[in-house]
Amino acid sequence: MKRVLAIVAGILLALPMIEAQSLMPLTGKDSLIACSGTLYDNGGGVANYSNNSNSEFILKFPGADSIRLKFASLDFETINDSVVLFLKNDAQANKLGVFNGTTVPFGGLQITVPGNRLIVKQFSNASTTGAGFDLQYVGVYPKLTVKINYKDTQVCVGKSLVLKSTVTGGVLRPLVYDWNGVTGVDTLLVTFPKADTLIKTLTVTDYCLNKAVVSQRVMTYEAITLGISNDTSICFGTSILLSAPVYGGDRIHGGPGFYTRWSTGVYLGGITVSPKVTTTYYAWGGEGCSLEGYDSVKVTVFSPLFLSSVVDTVICYGQTYDLNLLDSGGRVSTRKVVWSDPAIAGTSVFLNPDTGTTNYRVWVEDGCTVVNDTSDFVVTKRIPLRGSFVVDPDTICYKDSTLVSWSFTGGKSSSSTWTVNGKVPVFNSYKIAPLADLECVFEVKDGCSPDLILKDTVMVSNSKLKHKIVAADSWLCYYDSNGFIKVSVSGGESPLSYLWNDKLATADTAISKLSVGKYKLMTTDAFGCKDSVTVRVRYEGKILVAESDTIIYRGGYGSLRVRSGIKWKWLPSLAVVGSDTGEWLIVRPVKSQVYTVTALDSASCLWKDTVQVTVVDPPLIRIPNVITPNGDGENDFWDLIEVPNLEDFDIEIYNRPGELVYRTSSYANDWMAQDSKGADLLTGIYFYYIKNRVTGLDYRGFIQVIR
């Protein structure tokens, strides 16, 4: 009956875990790490529990949140025998209940109690026993879950990735791991020897045989490929951009790590190249993980443009310059020869330039090549022989010479020859002195141009002009304009004509009222012969020289002198000491002054010169304290000349009792010890007070009058 109840109870609990069948020990203690099952009394479910039994059974549910309990049956002697349940420990506070009799605890219902530990104690005496109990239990654990942790789910071919599991919930370990048949590890290393996509399934089983399953798809990235530029052709001297973008590879983590490496050593997605010859460029691409992709591009370079060169040349008048040019290279389909002169075209041309130098430029272009092959050349076309032949003057006086000169241009200079009157001259000009009229012939030949023949005639006079100065006044005082010149002329062919360089002079051999200058008379006879004479009219040289300017202290004396002349006059007479009509002049000015001297020389010419006398303040101003107004000309006046700006001072003089005896605001350096009324003061000591009305400067002191 008890077995049937246990099976029924198991069905009712729908236990998903390990079904454990356990018995209470006869005595002592026993324990079990439990998942789910049934605990029987010590009779084992087929016999009654034993007498005199005190035993304990601990059910441990490590990691469980709670425990589900249900009594399937109970048959214990009332009062004396019992089964006692505790949670956590056997403290009275943790007692779940004491059960005996035949009433099934909890009304035969399943209950859930907190915790992860259940203590079952069985007590029996020596008297009657019963069928015991069947206690069904299930540990309530957190749900077993598993998660695969990974850094990448895609890898490069030939690389590996790591799948690591994280398990939560379930029953205390050990856990059993199964990765598609690979067991015993919680971390799986997945290697990809080739491009592939895999599904990795992990099954985790805990102690109570609970299972959690998780799957993860892992794969390789696409193989690296390069989208390189197509093979191409360029013109010499130009550039082209080659690109090689990288496709495939690790696009999740490659990012800035993707690279393109060119055979030029440059790491760029695109490069600009300017090859001189046909070149194949190689490129490798990757991201540092996948195998590098590889490709190449061929750049065909057209050969440089070529145009046969043309040399400079010289042709004669009427000739042409015939050319046949060769061109090659570049892009043939667009290549052409171009002339700077739009009237010229093609490679076979006949150039017929104007006379002189003509610059030509011809080049080959294809609209693609940067540098065109260009030929610059010059064609010089000789001009016809042209020249001049001059006899100058073509009319000369008797025994005079004339210059025969010539020049020519054009023609072929390297073969040119020339003659004058049938003779080959050394230079291109020379003088001749024929005594009679003469025709001269100049002839040039070069073997290319028409001959050049030029002629000129020189006519010769039979007489010669002569000039003689009859009279002249050639020296003047500087202020005079009364010079005169008279010339006589002989020889030549009458009538004679006269021309002075002085525009005011008459057409005669004499002129007057002349000032200083150079006078030239040109006489021309009827045959055109000319002769001239020049006379200079000058001033008398300066004979009056005054000595240098001078500087004196106020109150001092200046000595002025001239070194020439016979009569003198000095002006102005201000501050002159002594005579003003001598060679010497003594002055004592109060302020700076310019003195002018006028003198006559032995030729009665009047001359002037000036001398500057600069008056400066003395380093120490001295005011006299003694005067002797006795009329002897020595110290008769109170001399205040050293006082600067004397005209700005008020002057007061007092006697010993302090009485004002003299006062003035415009002192003229003329006080002779007189009072303000003009009466002579007595011999004695007087006191002065001098004050500048402008600056406030004053002087005080005494003056002694001695008569």
Cα distances from 115 to residues 13, 140, 232, in angstroms, run 19, 9, 81
CA distance 527 to 492: 8
Would you call the peptide bond into 572 cis, given omega within 30 degrees of 0 as the criterion?
A: yes
* Cα dihedral 334, 336, 339, 343 sign: negative
Phi, psi of 92 (to 5 degrees): -60, -35
What's the rounded Cα separation, in Å, for the pair 240 and 271? Answer: 8
d(CA 6, CA 39): 10
Closest CA to 373 of 437, 409, 330, 431: 330
DSSP 384: P
Q: What pLDDT score was predicted for residue 12?
A: 30
| All residues at 6 or more sequence positions from 170 whose CB lies less than 8 Å from its CB, including other chains | 63, 141, 142, 143, 144, 145, 204, 206, 207, 208, 210, 212
680, two tokens:
């002579």
Distance of CA 228 to the CA centre of its chain: 40
* 365 close to 338: Cβ distance less than 8 angstroms: yes
Residue 256: what pLDDT? 60
- Tens digit of each residue's pLDDT (9 = 90 or more) over 292-324: 889 999 999 999 999 999 999 999 887 899 999
Question: What is the Cα–Cα distance from 404 to 493, expressed in whole angstroms?
Answer: 25
pLDDT in the model for residue 2: 38
**What are the C-alpha distances in Å from 614 to residues 47, 440, 502?**
162, 78, 46
List, in sequence order, the alpha helices (H) in 235-337: none
Which domains does the chain carry? Answer: 2-140 (2.60.120.290), 145-220 (2.60.40.10), 225-301 (2.60.40.10), 306-381 (2.60.40.10), 386-460 (2.60.40), 466-539 (2.60.40.1080), 550-616 (2.60.40), 626-705 (2.60.40)
* H/E segment holding residue 9: helix 2-13
Q: Which of 477, 641, 443, 630 is nearest to 557 (CA)?
A: 641
- The CA angle 440-442-445, to the nearest 5 degrees, is 160
- Residues of the chain whose pLDDT is less than 50? 1-17
The Cβ of residue 90 has, within 10 Å, a number of other Cβ atoms equal to 14
Q: Is 348 left (phi over 0), alpha (psi -120 to 50) or beta?
A: beta
User: Which pairing describes strands 684-692 and 82-87: parallel, antiparallel, or unpaired?
Assistant: unpaired
Closest to 150 in 3D by CA, of 183, 190, 197, 206 = 190
pLDDT, tens digit (0-9, with 9 covering 90-100), for 580-625: 888 888 888 888 889 888 887 766 777 788 888 888 888 888 899 9
Q: Which residues of 148-184 are buried (b: 16+ CB within 10 A; e: fewer)?
A: bebeeebbbbebebebebebeebbbeebebbbeeeee
Structure tokens at 12: 């009712």
Nearest to 196 by CA among 217, 175, 212: 217
Do the Cβ atoms of 404 and 440 come closer than 8 Å? yes
**What are the E-state strand segments in 28-81?**
28-33, 36-40, 54-60, 66-75
The separation between CA 379 and the C-alpha centre of its own chain, rounded to angstroms, equals 47
Beta-strand relationship, 28-33 and 54-60: parallel
At residue 481, the pLDDT reads 75
Q: Rounded to whole angstroms, how far apart are CA atoms 633 and 558? A: 20
Please tell me the predicted confidence (pLDDT) of residue 16: 41
